Amino acid sequence: MPAQSKIDMVQKINESLDASKGLFVVDYRGLTVKESQALRRSVREAGGDMKVYKNNLMKIALNDAQMPAIDDILVGTCAYVFYENDPVEVAKALKNAAKDLGKLEILGGIADGVALDAAAAKAYADLPSREELLAQLVYVVASPLRGIASVCAGPARGLATALSQLAEQKEGGQAAA
């Protein structure tokens, strides 16, 4: 029979899994306490939460939550980065930390109910963020509207130009007389 502390820990992991849309698994071996604190802070600012659990307890919790099995990447010193909204921002924070620290490695994760290998998890960091996508959408929608406004303003602009030139001709004609 498992110890009550382990049952409580699996329940705590399940709560983290229920509150998140997915997770990334990272190998944090070799990080100092200050580096680990900086990593947690950057992940928190990106909308994530980094936790360290025993791999066997995580396997049990993933099975209980009926999430994809990622047993092959749950080896060694793993930290779990849960995200609630946008996986891209959290993945970018992890990628930047891995580049800055040189000791952090993204092992994989789970996103949209699908298991991710290391390459797929790192690919999330290369995607545009939600805000960037919205800005691109606004640009795409606004471009035709800008063109329509320009076309509609064309005749009025032409009329104003013609009247301006006519007025200049009349002033020029009166000055000569």
* Domain co-membership, 20 together with 35: yes
In terms of domains, do 142 and 111 share one?
A: no
What gap in Å lies between CA 34 and CA 16, rounded to an integer? 24
The Cα-based distances of 164 to 152, 174, 176 in angstroms read 20, 16, 19
Last residue of a domain, one of 95, 112, 127: 127
**Which domain-ending residue is among 106, 127, 148?**
127
> Could you report the per-residue pLDDT of 3-20, keeping only the tens digit for each?
888 888 889 988 888 888
Cα 15 to Cα 65: distance, rounded to the nearest angstrom: 10
The reported pLDDT for the residue numbered 42 is: 92
pLDDT in tens, 13-51: 888 888 888 899 999 888 899 999 999 999 999 899 999
CATH code at position 73: 3.30.70.1730
Mean pLDDT, residues 133-160 taken together: 71
Q: Are residues 133 and 123 in the same domain?
A: no
pLDDT tens readout for residues 80-121: 999 988 888 899 999 988 888 888 899 999 988 888 888 888
Number of helices (H), then strands (E), in the chain: 6, 5
Shared domain for 144 and 171, answered yes or no, is: yes
Q: Give me the number of domains the chain comprises.
A: 2
Q: Exposed/middle/buried for 116, CB within 10 Å: 0-12, 13-18, 19+?
A: buried
Token digits of residue 176:
């000569």
**Domain shared by 55 and 108, yes or no:** yes
Residue span of the structural domain in which 159 resides: 128-177
Give pLDDT, residue 127.
81
Question: Is 84 in the same domain as 142?
Answer: no
Statement to judge: residues 87 and 162 lie in one domain: no
Confidence of residue 173 (pLDDT cuts 50, 70, 90): low
Whether residue 74 is found in the same domain as residue 28: yes
Query: Distance between CA atoms of 14 and 61, rounded to whole angstroms?
Result: 6
133 with 105, same domain: the answer is no
The pLDDT of residue 79 is 92
pLDDT of residue 25: 93
Asked whether residue 102 falls in the same domain as residue 140, the answer is no
What DSSP character marks residue 108? E
